[in-house]
Amino acid sequence: MAKQKTNENGSERDAKKADLEKNTVSGDGHFHTSNHGVRINDDQNSLKTGERGPTLLEDFHFREKMTHFDHERIPERIVHARGSAAHGYFELTKSLSEYTRAAFLQEPGTRTPVFVRFSTVAGSRGSTDLARDARGFAVKFYTEEGNYDLVGNNIPVFFIQDAMKFPDLVHAVKPEPDNEMPQAASAHDTFWDFISLMPESMHMIMWTMSDRAIPRSYRMMEGFGVHTFKFINDSNEAFFVKFHWKPVLGVHSVTWEEAQLISGKDPDFHRRDLWEAIEQGHFPEWNFGVQIVPEKDEHKFDFDLLDPTKIIPEELVPVEIVGKLVLDRNPDNFFAETEQVAFHPGHIVPGIDFTNDPLLQGRLFSYTDTQLIRLGGPNFQEIPINRPVVPVRNNQRDGHMRQTINRGKSSYHPNTTGGGCPFQAKMSEGGFVSHTEKIDAVKIRARSQSFFDHFSQAALFYNSQSDIEKIHIIQALRFELGKVKDPGIRKRVVAMLSQVDQSLAGQVAEGLGFVVPDVPAHLNQSIPADGNPDDFQPQKSAQKEVQVSQALSMANTVKNSIKSRRIAILVSEGVDEVSLNTMKEIIEDASAETKILASHLGFVSSDSDSLIAVDETFSTSSSVLFDAVFVPHGHKSSDKLQKDERVLNFIREMYRHSKVIAADRSGADLLHAAIPKISVQGETRLDNLANGILINRTAKEFIEALSQHRFWDREKMLNPLD
């Protein structure tokens, strides 16, 4: 009888479990166990002395569960704390065997698994995605020769030239230590005080004050290796190389006002965008390019290849596209993968080597030191996301959180007890050999004279910008310096800006309420203590071989696709079903995404009494979360929308942010109600293809306009610097 009862109870339990699995996404039928594998029969109640008594110390299930919870958070990254990541692959399209012996860069068609993490730099894990900031762009290649990490940014230069200054930079840009404010923002005294004393930062400042620092999405920003590295080929010849990631969708940004509004509406905007694009099959893609300089040409330029505050203008050395990066799978678990991934610029493979870039040299120490603290010890490479796809065989043993169970008694080298294993690999056997480089120098704390032109490339960047991009830089500097309380700091920064461009400095100074001051006699703090400051003063930007570089302006980016763009369609009761569905289908056929917005969720009735499903409401959504708006025909629908102030603001924001606005027939009534009819020589600005406002235009014209991203003439018309 007892056996029968057990079977009955077991059948009942199995039935309940099967029923539960029908309603559980990941139900696998496995029993709940402790961390050491023991099945647990009650995970809901602690062990007590009686039902109302105190919890017993011997309750090891409770202690294990609570201890694990207490330690679920690891120290966040000091920089690049807020990030998002994805799996994918790198495919080589052109062999680089002439320049490097790296195995994954030999045969076209070779695919290498990758894990890519994007991030902001200054903010904490809880900060907004839309901060004005550089963005990390780190790629881990799981190659057949071991892991290779290309740890870069979306900006090709950096604030400082020597890693010795990195702690100072980070301390300056982080929240001020007396009050822990502001979060994820550089607009405060300590940052600009540091910048005002470091003229080498001027080139990076031009980039971070530009629209590059507020990208539309991770999928629409460039990536750079920042440093100059070396390729080494089979003949042991060396080549200097710069790495580039160029997004197939082009390089696009949001406006500063949009960034602030998005931070309030959806601070996870970039993270959500990346995740949803991959889930929907709009796989992010970048072309991989290299700039290669033969070793004999190291000193042919009027800048130093080892200076991380300098680029190689593409007019001097074109970027050669040799591969592509595709991200096609989201992480299964954010903590296990995105948070625990450990990148390191020192993770290189045979055929790739370092240069004497003093910022890079410092990073080679810093990254390992950081991971030891953040991930608990020397075995962070054994965490699954960090493991190479090839076997790891060495005599490194033990340590915190060791995963590998090493066999045998040999934990040293050379040895005979282990048969001499593991053997050392010759270069011909795939062993890594550092490139032979002759060094004849004295030990000194100093900086090369070739590093002391701090303004020429800052001027190159500014001069290469379109008119509206220059306006945005001026606006950004006015905002940032307007938050600085110390007038002396503001004036020192503007004095440095005058070394880049007098007009730039003048317009920034005007917005701050003073005239451009003289440059301080001794501006540069990066000089040796026993040096003559006059010998190391940065000079005003000089005439250079390249005056304007087309690649530096986003106005020249790719504008041939609307793939994964988000279009809002505004509707109410009585919307014309044909007008709505015709445009919706054509937009989605072009791989863009549409969302139906109305005053309420559920459905609205069309003019033919069909039910139109509503995706979002005017209360829960915002214009800044979309790339364009379309208002379909329907007199009744248009009339109702005109009475909703939220809708009018939606259109006005779209107009102010220079986005594409389209309407079909009576839908134009909403546009006329929302947008002021600004006239030029008697012509209304509405229904102006050149201005991105389309009324009664074809879907083809709408798609063509949307591919242009923005219509900045509207900003000029609104006098943004007044």
Q: Is 7 a catalytic residue?
A: no
Catalytic residue among 87, 147, 153, 270: 153
Q: Enumerate the β-bridge partners of residue 119.
A: 83, 136
User: Beta strands 285-294 and 352-353: pairing type?
Assistant: unpaired
Residue 651 backbone phi and psi in degrees, to 5: -65, -45
* Extents of the domains making up the chain: 2-70, 83-163+216-386, 562-717
Largest CA distance in the chain: 101
Reply yes or no on whether the pLDDT at 24 is more than 60.
no
Task: For residue 261, give Cα distances in angstroms to 94, 170, 184, 274.
Answer: 43, 26, 15, 19
CATH top-level class for 83-163+216-386? mainly beta
H or E segment to which residue 504 belongs: helix 502-512
CA nearest neighbour of 350 among 230, 240, 439, 437: 230
pLDDT digits (tens, 9 = 90+) for 226-276: 999 999 999 999 999 999 999 999 999 999 999 999 999 999 999 999 999
What is the pLDDT confidence band of residue 186, given thresholds at 50, 70 and 90? very high
- Secondary structure of residue 83 in the 3-state scheme: strand
CATH top-level class for 562-717? alpha beta
Q: State how far the Cα of 199 lies from the Cα of 203, in Å rounded to an integer.
A: 9
Dihedral sign (CA 253, 257, 263, 264): negative
Residue 541 and residue 500 in contact, taking contact as beta carbons nearer than 8 Å: yes
Q: State how far the Cα of 548 lies from the Cα of 550, in Å rounded to an integer.
A: 6
CA nearest neighbour of 132 among 198, 193, 188: 188
pLDDT digits (tens, 9 = 90+) for 510-522: 999 999 999 876 6
Amino acid at 76: E
Q: Is 31 exposed, middle or buried (0-12, 13-18, 19+ CB in 10 A)?
A: exposed
Residue 451 and residue 198 in contact, taking contact as beta carbons nearer than 8 Å: no
Q: Which two tokens stand for residue 3?
A: 């056996």
Judged by phi (left if over 0) then psi (alpha if -120 to 50, else beta), residue 393 lies in: beta
What is the pLDDT confidence band of residue 2, given thresholds at 50, 70 and 90? very low
Q: Is 23 a catalytic residue?
A: no
Q: Which two tokens stand for residue 429?
A: 């056997």
Strands (E), 585-642: 593-598, 602-605, 611-614, 616-617, 628-631
Determine the average pLDDT of the residues in 79-95: 97
Catalytic residue among 7, 36, 45, 80: 80
Residue 251 backbone phi and psi in degrees, to 5: -100, 115
Q: State how far the Cα of 548 lies from the Cα of 199, in Å rounded to an integer.
A: 21
Q: State how far the Cα of 195 lies from the Cα of 172, in Å rounded to an integer.
A: 9
Residue 253 and residue 208 in contact, taking contact as beta carbons nearer than 8 Å: no
CA nearest neighbour of 293 among 348, 245, 238: 238
CA nearest neighbour of 615 among 638, 641, 646, 594: 594
Give me the percent of the chain exceeding a pLDDT of 70. Answer: 90
Distance of CA 482 to the CA centre of its chain: 26
Count of helix runs (H) and strand runs (E) in the chain: 18, 20
Amino acid at 350: P
- Confidence (pLDDT) at 11: 58
Q: State how far the Cα of 504 lies from the Cα of 482, in Å rounded to an integer.
A: 16
- Confidence (pLDDT) at 680: 39
Q: State how far the Cα of 138 lies from the Cα of 128, in Å rounded to an integer.
A: 19
For residue 505, how many other CB atoms are within 10 A of its CB? 22
Average pLDDT, the chain: 89
What is the pLDDT confidence band of residue 185, given thresholds at 50, 70 and 90? very high
The count of residues in the chain is: 722
Q: What is the pTM of this model?
A: 0.91
pLDDT digits (tens, 9 = 90+) for 596-652: 999 999 999 999 999 999 999 999 999 999 999 999 999 999 999 999 999 999 999
- Confidence (pLDDT) at 415: 85
Reply yes or no on whether the pLDDT at 541 is more than 60.
no
User: Of all residues in the chain, what percent are helix, strand and coil, respectively (each to 5)?
Assistant: 35, 15, 50
Determine the average pLDDT of the residues in 437-462: 87
Reply yes or no on whether the pLDDT at 318 is more than 90.
yes
Q: Enumerate the β-bridge partners of residue 613.
A: 603
Residue 321 and residue 71 in contact, taking contact as beta carbons nearer than 8 Å: no
Q: Is 469 exposed, middle or buried (0-12, 13-18, 19+ CB in 10 A)?
A: buried
Determine the average pLDDT of the residues in 657-682: 82
- Confidence (pLDDT) at 684: 53
Q: In this structure, which topology does domain 2-70 adopt according to CATH?
A: Cytochrome C Oxidase; Chain J (4.10.91)
Q: State how far the Cα of 466 lies from the Cα of 556, in Å rounded to an integer.
A: 9
